[in-house]
Amino acid sequence: MIKNSIIFYYKDDYSLNDYFYNSANFGVSLLNQKADIKQSHVVGNDCNFAYIEEVEFKKHTEKSLLLIYSHGDDSGFYKSNDDSPFLNSKIDFPMCIENGLIYTNACLTGNLFAQTIIDKKASFYGYSKSVIKNPMYEKAYIECDNWGLHYIIKGYTLIDSKKEAKKKFNVEIDKCNNIFTASHLREARDSLVVYGNTSERLI
C-alpha cells in the first residue's frame, strides 16, 4: 500500500485564478482522512523542474501518491503560463514513482506522460483530452476532479474509482443549468483515463 504522498499546486493561475489551489485543498482534505499517509507539499514557485528533481524527489525513497493540480499537455505539467513544464516525461524518474500513483486534474497528461510513467511501473489517473473548466461552476469541477481520489483513498481500484467519478460527473451534468458547462463536463467525463495497476487496491 502507498503510505507517502507529494502534492503539487499553486495559487494565482493566469486564467483560473485559485482553481488549482482550491482543488488541491479539497484533495488534501480527502487525504487527511488517511492519517497513515505522509504528506509533502510542493507549492507555488517550488513547482519547478529543478527543485522537484534536485530537492523534492530526493526526499522520497518509498512508492508515493503524486497529486498534481495544474495545467498540462501531452507530456507534462505546467504552472500558470510558464514556458517549460515543472514535471514531464523527460525527468529522471525517482524511486517514489515506481509502483506509485500519479493522480491529476491536468489536461492531456493521460497520453505521452501517462505512457512514460507506466513504463516505470507507476499508475495514472487523469484526463487524456483538454478540459474546458468554467470558473462559474468551480465547485462542480473541483468535486469531479477529486471524486476518483475519494474512492481510491477508500480502497477502491483505479477502474472502480473511475466508474464512481463518472457517476459523480453524471450527477453534476444532470443538475447543471448551463448546457455548455454540462457539455464540457461530459467531455471531461469521457476523457478520464486510468493506466497501470488498475485492478488492485493501491492505498
Q: Is 144 in the site for another protein (CB under 8 A)?
A: no
Q: How far apart are CA 19 and CA 24, in angstroms?
A: 8
DSSP the chain: ---EEEEEE-S-BTTTBTHHHHHHHHHHHHHTT-TTSEEEEEEGGG-SHHHIIIIIGGG--S--EEEE-SEE-SSEEESTT-SS-SEETTS---TTTTT-EEEE--TTTTTHHHHHHHTTT-EEEEESS-----GGGHHHHHHHHHHHHHHHHTT--HHHHHHHHHHHHHHHHHH-S-HHHHHHHHHHHHTEEEESS-SS---
Is 191 a binder of another protein (CB under 8 A)? no
Confirm or reject binding of residue 15 to another protein (CB under 8 A).
Answer: yes
Least distance from another protein to the Cβ atom of residue 149, Å: 21
Site for another protein (CB under 8 A): which residue of 25, 48, 99, 130? 130
Q: Which is nearer to another protein, 135 or 155 (CB)?
A: 135
Does 173 engage in binding with another protein (CB under 8 A)?
yes
- Partnered with residue 193 across adjacent β-strands are 126
44-83 positions binding another protein, by CB under 8 A: 71
Asked if 187 touches another protein (CB under 8 A), the answer is yes
CA dist., res. 148 & res. 6, Å (int): 17
Q: Kindly indicate which of the ranges 23-31, 52-60, 130-138, 143-151 contains the residues binding another protein, using the contact rule CB under 8 A.
A: 130-138
The single residue among 37, 132, 163, 191 that binds another protein, judged by CB under 8 A, is: 132
Residue type, 123: S
Nearer to another protein, 117 or 165 (CB): 165
- The reply on whether position 186 binds another protein by CB under 8 A is yes
Q: Is 99 in the site for another protein (CB under 8 A)?
A: no
Using CB under 8 A as the binding criterion, the count of chain residues that bind another protein stands at 25
User: Shortest Cβ distance from residue 157 to another protein (Å)?
Assistant: 24
List of residues contacting another protein (CB under 8 A): 14-16, 71, 107, 130-136, 170, 173-174, 178-184, 186-187, 190
